[in-house]
C-alpha cells in the first residue's frame, strides 16, 4: 500500500537526509515572492467578486521566493520537477523548458490572474488544464472543496498532473504542502507521497483536511464492499 506522510518542518532541513534522485517527481508550489499579503484586507482575499471573501490569515510568508539553494536541492533529490509560479522567479532555473503547464482558472473578470504557470523538467509540449476556481464557483461543484489556504489549488489539478507526469509506484515530493491538495490526489491515485509544511497553523489545518477526506473515502469503500 502506498504511503502518505506529511511533516511540520523546514523542507531544507528534511531534504538533506535524502540521497540523490530519491523522488521520482517533485510537484511544488513555493512562495512566489509577490507579497500575497497585499491581496488581503485584514487577512481576507479581495477582488471584484460580489460574494464575501474567506479569511485565510496573514500571507507574509510570500514576501520572497526560495533562493537558489532550494532549487539546487530540489533538483538533487528528484528526477523530475513541476514548479508552480516559476514565471515569477525564472532566473533561478539553469535550463529552459519546452513543457510549461498552464492552469486556466476560468475565473471571469476580476483582479486575479487568469491562469497560473508551472515550469517542468519534461520535454513534451506545453499543456493546459481548465478548471474553474472563482470564489464559491468551482469546476466540480458536486465535490466542492473547502478552502483553507490563500493560495490553495484544487485536488483535480494535481490529479491531472499525476495522470500525465507520474506512473504507478512513483515517489512524490511536495516541499510546500499548504492545503494538502497534492497529498489528497496522490492518496487517491495510490502514489507514495512525502510533504513538508513549515507553518504549524497551516499544517494542522492540512492534517485535519486529509484525515476527514480519507475517513470519507474509507467509509465509501467499506459501503461498496458490504
CB of 188 closer than 8 Å to CB of 9: no
pTM of this prediction?
Answer: 0.87
Task: Give the CATH number for residue 142.
Answer: 3.40.50.150
CA 173/CA 6 separation, integer angstroms:
10
Radius of gyration of the chain (CA): 17
pLDDT digits (tens, 9 = 90+) for 117-150: 999 999 999 999 999 998 889 999 999 999 999 8
**Total domains present in the chain:** 1
pLDDT band at 73 (very low <50, low <70, confident <90, very high): very high
pLDDT at 211: 96
Sign of the alpha-carbon dihedral angle for 83, 87, 91, 97: positive
CA 20/CA 23 separation, integer angstroms:
8
What percent of the chain clears pLDDT 70, i.e. is strictly above it?
85
Q: What is the SS3 assignment for 196?
A: strand
- Say which DSSP state 55 is in: B
Q: By C-alpha distance, which of 151, 160, 177, 163 is closest to 33?
A: 151
Residue range(s) defining the domain that contains residue 176: 4-225
Amino acid at each position: 500500500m502506498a504511503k502518505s506522510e506529511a511533516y511540520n518542518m523546514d523542507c531544507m532541513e528534511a531534504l538533506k537526509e535524502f540521497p540523490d534522485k530519491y523522488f521520482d517527481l517533485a510537484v511544488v508550489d513555493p512562495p512566489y515572492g509577490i507579497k500575497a499579503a497585499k491581496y488581503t484586507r485584514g487577512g481576507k482575499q479581495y477582488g471584484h467578486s460580489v460574494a464575501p471573501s474567506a479569511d485565510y490569515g496573514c500571507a507574509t510568508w510570500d514576501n520572497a521566493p526560495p533562493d537558489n539553494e532550494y532549487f539546487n536541492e530540489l533538483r538533487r533529490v528528484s528526477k523530475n520537477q513541476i514548479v508552480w509560479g516559476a514565471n515569477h522567479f525564472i532566473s533561478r532555473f539553469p535550463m529552459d523548458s519546452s513543457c510549461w503547464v498552464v492552469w486556466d482558472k476560468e475565473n471571469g473578470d476580476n483582479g486575479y490572474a487568469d491562469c497560473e504557470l508551472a515550469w517542468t523538467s519534461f520535454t513534451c509540449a506545453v499543456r493546459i488544464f481548465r478548471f474553474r476556481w472563482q470564489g464559491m464557483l468551482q469546476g466540480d461543484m458536486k465535490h466542492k472543496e473547502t478552502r483553507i489556504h490563500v493560495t490553495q489549488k484544487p485536488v483535480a489539478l494535481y490529479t491531472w498532473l499525476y495522470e500525465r507526469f507520474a506512473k504507478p509506484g512513483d515517489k512524490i515530493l511536495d516541499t510546500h504542502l499548504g492545503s494538502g491538495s497534492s497529498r489528497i490526489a496522490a492518496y487517491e491515485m495510490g502514489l507514495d507521497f512525502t510533504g513538508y509544511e513549515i507553518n504549524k497553523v497551516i499544517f494542522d489545518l492540512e492534517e485535519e483536511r486529509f484525515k476527514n477526506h480519507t475517513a470519507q473515502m474509507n467509509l465509501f469503500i467499506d459501503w461498496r464492499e458490504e
